[in-house]
């Protein structure tokens, strides 16, 4: 490992170093503002370092067999860090309401980010597993961080148990695949897998890996945990699970099941198609009459990953650009939506009851307008990144001739529209005079600023998406 | 360039309406009105300029065109263009937009700025739909109309507004999504054939595809256009939305949003899929005739004034669909006139219904009556617009429907004959409405004020326009003619069966042998 390699992993080093620093500060009982500022600086420096090393990693930079730093991984690492930064900022005011202990939260937040980054850069089963475990172990604690409330504790334990089971499956699957192929490197596997004689062990191994990944992505039928955990977790943590964690695992999915491995018409392809269709339908149907905003967003995020799978399966046409663009759009929309829920939260409730939002427009017009835009973006309406993302997914599906999935996607977009506009209707219906009562305190300034930034990004890239697309294509090829 | 301006003026006005100082009060109203009037003035100037040199059929395809790169990675550009037909429709949009602002002057009292923001944004979408000839841009504007209209119904609508708004949104969005799939399918079929990925309308015309592909792709477009038009049986969102929308919203819905469906059929569905479209045209005629009769009968059965007017739209849009399905010069001229006159006439009826509802706080016909004596001005206008709706000769609506019948007679005698009975039903429901509202015993108490000058002004303009179009249809026909000729030439040119076999099928007989040469030579002057 030369100095050049070290430069390539500077973003990782910065995050790890910041985690250690925050841990020391906590041990020395420093103030809570200090820990947040150090964390934010860590994320900021890491983001800057990514921009600086982009020119150095063309072509791809392999760091020992474990990590690969190329345009693809750097783009997603950048997204993950940006998302973490936003969520760390949102967490600050949320935590202030509930607890006095900040240090541990931010340490775990940083390690979770580190795990997600390792996932996005992994090129080997070992680093895949390592990243996943760093991420999951941090999340177990984060979900249950406000352990004095039974709800949070329950969610934490549920996530711990189910996630451990899925990890066990994943490990066994990896072992079986290794047994048949003799390699654990992705590049080697992608070359050898199509040539291997089909047998039970290989098939079982592949299915187990898919199950493990499917659990993390909350794909149907491995989705049961998502609404409960989202409901119980602190709002920013739920948003982290929905974006950074899922996004990181999805990058592994696109990296591993690519090219020859997921040949069109093959059994794996059919399996993923069925999962995609089921995920879209289940996610959307379960969200239809949901009265808890966090659960609704959980189901919506399940359905969104069904949409993403359509782009993922479009192996014949453009493949990576739609996935990357939609993930970026999904990050913005989801963090925006959860961010507003965070701002609605108060000491007693997480701002997740739908009717707490009734007539909100007439009390907080800007916040409501931003929420409406985020929801419309999730539904794929124009003037937002959501439409361009949908366009890309549809385009990928049509270009590859996946007509079945494209039609399912269209039907589901209509079903999905219903619950998004149901929330919007509730927010915009004028309440009877004197009936507006607000839950939550005045939204914090940081939170409002963050939502404003996200809304501007959402609309700007929705009207003029060319810059982001050209960045994606420069980094990953068309 | 001027097209971008036409599009941007209402957009700027919309954003200005959001300014905090305009949130309630007259500022937003005047801004909105100024924005729409400015758009109207520009389009009228363009129209007048075009009238000046109309006799020469110009060689170029578009009167005005502007193109800028937008999303080059997918071959999507910001491509606006107008021929005579688009120009007429944009003018209609600006006119009805101003009318809608005036109609909402006293009705809207809460969140005035946000109301006008939505109203103007809907109009931006409508105008964009009429001008965009990049298919993705078209879809963009198509969807853009929906969201603000949804908010208009949701926030300022009447009793059952949530249901109406959600139903409207979901129906039209469902159609729109299938159109998006078709647009993409078309673009990739084109890429497959030529190697160029493009969403540009002039590029996509004449894309070679086999019959099944063309039919399937056409179905996607039809899903959007027939829902929007609406054709029976996809009309169920319409009575709800029209009835529960605020007056301004109803005017825009009936006057413009329905027309985008007709425009889409004429501009996109037929020229891009000439073969498949002419194969499906007979079914279109059946739907059209069903719509004419069904709408008329349902209209007669209503007890809610706005619902009654809404169903007359279903009936009148049946004529539009009939004319488009017949697809010959006479019928298409009729369609254009019908679209414009129905937009103006129904817009005016909804405005009248709105002013009445503001006064007596009900839309129930059973609680009206006897208003003529007390409200002579309103009574006279009711009479006029009811007669326009039933197709009184001398007014534009009659001319439109007559030309449609004349054109479709050449294609299918049966369809034209049955559709003609629609006139009878129209007479029944229009006179019934008039009787219920203006005559008979008075069923309300208290003083009711007659129309104010503000309320009269747009209605008088509408009266003038309907008479003018009825008596001098030439200017409209002349303006639309070149665009329609080009479209028809495109359709004929790109229809391989007709070109190679040389024996035109039934639907095209008159089109090739009679009307097209006449139209091209300028011999046909559009007079019935």
Among B298, B285, B290, residue whose Cα is nearest residue B239: B298
pLDDT, position A391? 94
Q: Considering only alpha carbons, which residue of chain B is nearest residue A470?
A: B73
Interface contact B184-A429, CB threshold 8 A: no
HEC assignment per residue over chain A: CCHHHHHHCHHHHHHHHHHHHHHHHHHCCCCHHHHHHHHHHHHHHHHHHHHHHHHHHCCCEEECCCEEECHHHHHHHHHHHHHHHHHHHHHHHHHHHHCCCCHHHHHHHHHHHHHHHHHHHECEHHHHHHHHHHHHHHHHHHHCCCCCCHHHHHHHHHHHHHHHHHHHHHHHHHHHHHHHHCCCEHHHHHHHHHHCCCCHHHHHHHHHHHHHHHHHHCCCCCCCHHHHHHHHCCHHHHHHHHHHHHHHHHHHHHHHCCCCCCCCCCHHHHHHHHHHHHHHHHHHHHHCCCCEHHHHHHHHHHHHHHHHHHHHHCCCCCCHHHHHHHHHHHHHHHHHHHHHHHHHCCCCCCCCEHHHHCCHHHCCHHHHHHHHHHHHHHCCCCCCHHHHHHHHHHHHHHHCCCHHHHHHHHHHHHHHHHHHHHHHHHHHCCCCCCCCCCCCCCCCHHHHHHHHHHHHHHHHHHHCCHHHHHHHHHHHCC
Q: How far apart are CA A372 and CA A282, in angstroms?
A: 23
Residue A347 covered by a domain? yes
CB contact under 8 A, A417 and B143: no
Residue of B nearest to A414 (CA): B174
In chain B, positions 184-243, which contact chain A (CB-CB < 8 Å)?
184-185, 187-188
Residue B495 pLDDT: 60
Given an 8 Å threshold on Cβ–Cβ distance, is B150 in contact with A421?
A: yes
Q: Count Cβ neighbours within 10 Å for each residue of A153-162 and write b for 16 or more, e otherwise.
A: bbbbebbbeb
The token pair that represents B295 in the structure block = 């709408």
The helix (run of H) or strand (run of E) holding residue A63 is strand A61-63
List Cα–Cα distances, B501 to B92, B279, B498, B504, B507, in angstroms: 41, 16, 5, 8, 15
CA distance A411 to A409: 5
Instruction: Using a CB–CB cutoff of 8 Å, tell me whether A466 touches chain B.
Output: yes
Total domains present in chain A? 1
Cα separations in angstroms, B119 against A122, B431, B474: 51, 32, 32
Distance CA A84, CA A105 (A): 13
Buried b / exposed e over B50-62, threshold 16 CB at 10 Å, is beeebeeeeeeeb
**Residue B525, class by beta-carbon neighbours within 10 Å (0-12 exposed, 13-18 middle, 19+ buried)?**
exposed
Considering only the beta carbons, identify the residue of B144, B177, B185 that sits closest to A383: B144
Residue with tokens 């739907």: B287
Read off the tokens for B40. 């109207």
The verdict on A376 touching B (C-beta cutoff 8 Å) is yes
d(CA B98, CA B4): 19
In B182-221, which ranges are E strands?
none
Asked if A381 reaches chain B (Cβ–Cβ under 8 Å), the answer is yes
Q: Do B169 and A413 touch (CB under 8 A)?
A: no
Residue A11 belongs to some domain of the structure: no
Q: Kindly determine whether residue B180 and residue A422, on different chains, have CB atoms separated by under 8 Å.
A: no
> Is A85 domain-assigned?
no
Residue of A407, A425, A466 lying closest to B154 (CB–CB): A425
Residue found by looking up tokens 């359905």 in the block: A303
CB contact under 8 A, B181 and A469: no
| Three-class SS state of B67 | strand
| Alpha-carbon span B37 to B97, nearest angstrom | 8
**What are the b/e assignments for A220-247, b being 16+ CB within 10 Å?**
bebbebbbbbbbbbbbbbbbbbbbbbbb
Q: How many degrees, rounded to 5, is the angle at CA B326 between CA B322 and CA B329?
A: 115
Residues of B within 8 A of A289 (CB-CB) are: none
pLDDT tens digits in sequence order for chain B, 528 residues long: 889 999 999 999 999 988 877 766 788 899 999 999 999 999 999 888 877 765 555 666 788 889 999 988 899 999 999 988 999 999 999 999 999 999 999 888 888 889 999 999 999 999 999 999 999 999 999 999 999 999 999 999 988 899 999 999 999 999 999 999 999 999 999 998 898 899 999 889 888 888 899 999 999 999 999 999 999 889 999 999 999 999 999 999 999 999 999 999 999 999 999 889 989 999 999 999 999 999 999 999 999 999 999 999 999 999 999 999 998 889 999 999 999 999 999 999 999 999 999 888 888 888 888 888 888 888 899 999 999 999 899 999 999 999 999 999 999 999 999 999 999 999 999 999 999 888 888 777 777 888 888 889 999 999 999 999 999 998 888 888 888 888 888 877 766 544 433 334 444 434 433 333 333 333 344 443
Closest chain A residue to B171, measured at CA: A414
Return the pLDDT at A437: 58
Token digits for B333? 């001229």
The phi-psi region of residue B75 (left if phi > 0; otherwise alpha if psi is between -120 and 50; otherwise beta) is: left
**Binary contact (A394, B166; C-beta < 8 A):** no
The CA distance from B127 to B134, in Å, is: 14
C-alpha–C-alpha distance, residues B324 and A330, integer Å: 42
Task: Answer whether B150 sits within 8 Å of A406, measured CB to CB.
Answer: no
Range of the domain at A354: 267-478
CB-CB under 8 Å, A407 with B155: no
Q: How far apart are CA A359 and CA B162, in angstroms?
A: 13
> Distance from B195 to chain A by nearest Cα, in Å?
13
Contact: B169, A469; criterion CB under 8 Å: no
Among residues A265, A267, A229, which one has the least CA distance to residue A245? A229
Whether A400 and chain B come into contact, CB under 8 Å, resolves to no
**Cβ-Cβ contacts under 8 Å, A469 against chain B:** 71, 73
Residue of A nearest to B142 (CA): A382
Kindly state whether B136 is in contact with chain A, defined as any CB-CB distance less than 8 angstroms.
yes
Contact A395 B74 (CB under 8 A): yes
Q: Check whether the bond before A59 is cis (ω within 30° of 0).
A: yes
Contact A41, A85 (CB under 8 A): no
A393 is a domain residue: yes
Q: Is there a contact between B181 and A406 if contact means CB atoms under 8 Å apart?
A: yes
| Cβ–Cβ under 8 Å, residues A114 and A137 | no
A391 touches chain B (CB under 8 A): yes
Closest residue in B to A396 (Cα) is B184
Cα B512 to Cα A103, B218, B517, distances in angstroms = 82, 23, 7
Please give, rounded to a whole number of angstroms, the shortest distance from the CA of A153 to a CA of chain B: 38
Residues with Cβ within 8 Å of B464's Cβ and at least 6 positions away in sequence, in order, are none
Q: Exposed/middle/buried for A300, CB within 10 Å: 0-12, 13-18, 19+?
A: buried
CA distance A108 to A161: 19
Residue B143 at interface with chain A, using a CB cutoff of 8 Å: yes
- Is any Cβ of chain B less than 8 angstroms from the Cβ of A410? yes
Q: Specify the residue for token string 């005079």.
A: A433
- C-alpha distance from B178 to closest chain A C-alpha (Å): 7
Q: B192 to chain A, minimum CA–CA distance in Å?
A: 9
Output the pLDDT for position A187: 87
Q: What is the CA radius of gyration of chain B?
A: 22
Confidence at residue B367, expressed as pLDDT on a 0 to 100 scale: 84
Report yes or no on A135 lying in a domain: no
Q: B435 — contact with chain A (CB < 8 Å)?
A: no
> Which of B151, B155, B184 is facing A430, going by the closest CB pair?
B155
B154 close contact with A: CB closer than 8 A: yes
Residue pair A167/A141 in contact (Cβ under 8 Å)? The answer is: no
Q: Find, in chain A, the residue whose alpha carbon is nearest to that of B141.
A: A382
- Residue A441, chain B, CB below 8 Å: the answer is no
Residue A285 maps to a domain: yes
CB-CB neighbours of B460 under 10 Å: 16
Considering the domain boundaries, does residue A322 fall inside one? yes
Within 8 A of A414 by CB-CB distance, chain B residues are: 170, 173-174, 177
The pair of structure tokens assigned to B387 is 């007669």
For residue B110, the chain A residues in CB contact (below 8 A) are: 430
In the A/B pair of chains, how many CB contacts fall below 8 A? 81
Beta bridge partners of A122: A67
Query: What is the rounded distance in angstroms from the CA atom of residue B13 to the CA atom of residue B125?
Result: 14
> Could you tell me the CA-to-CA distances from A404 to A162, A310, A400, B9 in Å, in that order?
32, 10, 11, 42
Burial B155-183 (b: 16+ CB within 10 A, else e): bbbeeebbebbbbbbbbbbbbbbbbbbbb
Q: Which of B71, B141, B166 lies at the smallest CB-CB distance from A466?
A: B71
- How far, in Å, CA of A283 to CA of A303, rounded? 5
Residue B95 near residue B123, CB atoms below 8 Å: no
Omega within 30 of 0 (cis) for the link into A221: yes
Give the model's pLDDT for residue A29: 76
Q: For A415, which residue in chain B has the nearest alpha carbon? A: B170
Cβ of B71 and A382 within 8 Å?
A: no
Contact check, Cβ <8 Å, B180/A394: yes
B367 CB-contact burial (10 Å; exposed 0-12 / middle 13-18 / buried 19+)? middle
With CB atoms and an 8 Å threshold, state whether A473 touches B73: yes
pLDDT tens across the length of chain A (478 residues)? 678 788 889 999 999 999 999 999 988 876 778 899 999 999 999 999 999 988 877 778 888 889 999 888 999 999 999 999 999 999 998 988 888 788 899 999 999 999 999 999 999 999 999 999 999 999 999 999 988 888 889 999 999 999 999 999 999 999 999 998 888 998 888 888 877 888 899 899 999 999 999 999 999 899 999 999 999 999 999 999 999 999 999 999 988 887 667 777 788 889 999 999 999 999 999 999 899 999 999 999 999 999 999 999 987 767 789 999 999 999 999 999 999 999 988 877 777 888 888 888 888 888 999 999 999 999 999 999 999 999 999 999 999 889 999 999 999 999 999 999 999 999 988 776 655 555 555 778 889 999 999 999 999 999 999 999 999 988 887 6
Residue A320 lies in a domain: yes
Q: What pLDDT does residue A57 have?
A: 74
CA distance B73 to B76: 7
Q: Do A394 and B178 touch (CB under 8 A)?
A: no
Which two three-digit tokens encode residue B523? 């011999």
CB contact at 8 A, B306 and B353? yes
Q: Is B20 on the interface with A (CB under 8 A)?
A: no
Calpha distance B142→B178 (Å, rounded) = 13
Q: Does A13 contact B at CB distance below 8 Å?
A: no
Q: Do A417 and B181 touch (CB under 8 A)?
A: no
- pLDDT, position A259: 60
Which pLDDT belongs to residue A213? Answer: 94
Query: Under 8 Å CB-to-CB from A401, ≥6 apart: which residues?
Result: A316
């Amino acid at each position: 490992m030369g100095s050049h390699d070290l430069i390539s992993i500077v973003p990782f080093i910065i995050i790890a170093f910041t985690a250690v620093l925050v841990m020391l500060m906590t041990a020395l009982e420093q103030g809570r503002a200090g820990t947040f500022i150090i964390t934010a600086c860590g994320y900021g420096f890491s983001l800057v370092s990514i921009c600086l090393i982009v020119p150095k990693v063309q072509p791809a930079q392999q760091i020992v067999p474990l990590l690969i730093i190329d345009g693809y991984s750097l783009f997603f690492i950048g997204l993950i860090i940006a998302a973490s930064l936003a969520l760390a900022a949102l967490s600050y005011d949320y935590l202030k309401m509930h607890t006095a202990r900040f240090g541990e939260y931010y340490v775990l937040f940083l390690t979770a980010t580190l795990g997600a980054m390792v996932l996005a850069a992994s090129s080997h089963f070992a680093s895949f597993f390592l990243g996943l475990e760093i991420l999951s172990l941090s999340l177990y604690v984060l979900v249950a961080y406000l352990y004095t409330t039974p709800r949070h504790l329950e969610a934490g334990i549920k996530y711990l148990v189910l996630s451990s089971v899925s990890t066990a499956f994943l490990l066994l699957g990896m072992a079986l695949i290794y047994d048949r192929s003799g390699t654990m490197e992705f590049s080697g596997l992608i070359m050898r897998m199509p040539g291997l004689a089909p047998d039970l062990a290989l098939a079982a191994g592949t299915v187990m890996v898919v199950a493990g990944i499917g659990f993390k992505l909350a794909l149907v039928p491995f989705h049961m945990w998502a609404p409960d955990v989202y409901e119980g977790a602190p709002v920013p943590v739920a948003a982290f699970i929905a974006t950074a964690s899922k996004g990181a695992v999805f990058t592994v999915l696109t990296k591993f099941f690519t090219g020859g491995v997921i040949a069109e018409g093959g059994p794996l392809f059919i399996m993923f198609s069925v999962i995609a269709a089921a995920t879209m339908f289940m996610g959307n149907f379960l969200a239809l009459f949901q009265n808890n905003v966090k659960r609704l967003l959980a189901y919506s995020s399940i359905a969104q990953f069904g949409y993403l799978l359509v782009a993922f399966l479009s192996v014949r046409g453009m493949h990576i650009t739609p996935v990357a663009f939609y993930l970026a759009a999904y990050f913005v929309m989801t963090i925006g939506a959860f961010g507003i829920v965070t701002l609605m939260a108060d000491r007693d409730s997480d701002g997740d009851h739908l009717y707490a939002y009734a007539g909100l427009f007439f009390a907080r017009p800007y916040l409501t307008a931003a929420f409406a835009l985020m929801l419309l973006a999730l539904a794929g309406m124009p003037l937002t990144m959501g439409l361009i993302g949908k366009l890309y997914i549809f385009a990928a599906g049509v270009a590859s001739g996946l007509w079945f999935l494209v039609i399912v996607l269209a039907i589901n977009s209509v079903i999905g529209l219903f619950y998004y506009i149901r929330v919007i209707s509730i927010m915009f219906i004028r309440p009877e005079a004197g009936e507006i009562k607000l839950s939550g305190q005045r939204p914090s300034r940081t939170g409002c600023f963050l939502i404003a930034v996200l809304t501007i990004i959402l609309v700007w890239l929705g009207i003029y998406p060319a810059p982001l697309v050209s960045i994606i294509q420069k980094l990953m090829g068309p | 360039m001027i097209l971008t301006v036409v599009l941007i003026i209402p957009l700027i006005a919309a954003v200005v309406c959001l300014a905090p100082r305009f949130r309630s009060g007259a500022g937003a109203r005047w801004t909105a009105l100024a924005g729409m009037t400015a758009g109207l003035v520009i389009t009228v100037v363009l129209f007048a300029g075009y009238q000046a040199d109309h006799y020469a059929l110009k060689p170029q395809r578009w009167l005005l065109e502007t193109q800028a790169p937008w999303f080059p990675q997918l071959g999507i550009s910001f491509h606006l263009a107008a021929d005579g037909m688009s120009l007429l429709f944009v003018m209609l949009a600006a006119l009805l937009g101003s009318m809608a602002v005036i109609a909402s002057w006293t009705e809207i009292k809460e969140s005035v700025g946000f109301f006008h923001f939505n109203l103007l944004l809907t109009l931006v979408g409508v105008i964009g739909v009429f001008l965009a000839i990049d298919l993705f841009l078209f879809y963009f504007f198509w969807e853009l109309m929906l969201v603000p209209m949804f908010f208009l119904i949701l926030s300022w609508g009447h009793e059952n507004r949530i249901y109406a708004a959600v139903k409207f949104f979901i129906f039209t969005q469902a159609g729109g999504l299938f159109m998006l799939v078709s647009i993409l399918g078309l673009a990739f079929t084109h890429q497959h054939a030529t190697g160029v990925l493009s969403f540009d309308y002039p590029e996509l015309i004449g894309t070679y595809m086999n019959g099944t592909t063309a039919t399937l792709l056409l179905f996607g477009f039809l899903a959007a256009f027939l829902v929007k038009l609406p054709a029976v049986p996809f009309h169920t969102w319409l009575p709800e939305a029209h009835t529960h929308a605020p007056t301004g919203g109803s005017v825009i819905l009936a006057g413009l949003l329905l027309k985008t469906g007709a425009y889409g059929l004429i501009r996109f569905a037929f020229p891009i899929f000439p073969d498949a479209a002419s194969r499906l045209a007979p079914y279109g005629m059946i739907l059209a005739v069903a719509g004419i009769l069904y709408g008329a009968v349902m209209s007669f059965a209503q007890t809610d004034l706005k619902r009654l007017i809404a169903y007359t739209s279903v009936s009148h849009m049946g004529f539009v669909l009939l004319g488009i399905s017949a697809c010959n010069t006479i019928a298409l001229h009729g369609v254009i006139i019908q679209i414009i006159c129905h937009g103006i006439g129904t817009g005016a009826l909804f405005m009248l219904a709105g002013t009445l509802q503001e006064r007596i706080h009900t839309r129930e016909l059973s609680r009206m009556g006897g208003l003529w004596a007390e409200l002579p001005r309103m009574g006279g206008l009711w009479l006029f617009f009811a007669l326009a709706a039933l197709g009184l000769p001398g007014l534009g609506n009659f001319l439109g429907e007559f030309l449609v019948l004349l054109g479709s007679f050449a294609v299918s005698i049966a369809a034209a004959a049955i559709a003609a009975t629609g006139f009878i039903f129209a007479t029944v429901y229009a006179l019934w409405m008039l009787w219920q509202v203006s005559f008979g015993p008075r069923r309300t108490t208290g003083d009711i004020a007659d129309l104010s000058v503000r309320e009269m002004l747009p209605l008088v303009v509408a009266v003038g326009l309907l008479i003018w179009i009825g008596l001098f249809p030439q200017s409209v026909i002349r303006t639309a003619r070149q665009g329609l000729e080009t479209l028809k030439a495109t359709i004929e040119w790109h229809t391989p069966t007709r070109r190679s076999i040389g024996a035109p099928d039934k639907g095209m007989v008159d089109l090739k042998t009679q009307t097209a040469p006449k139209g091209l030579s300028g011999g046909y002057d559009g007079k019935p």
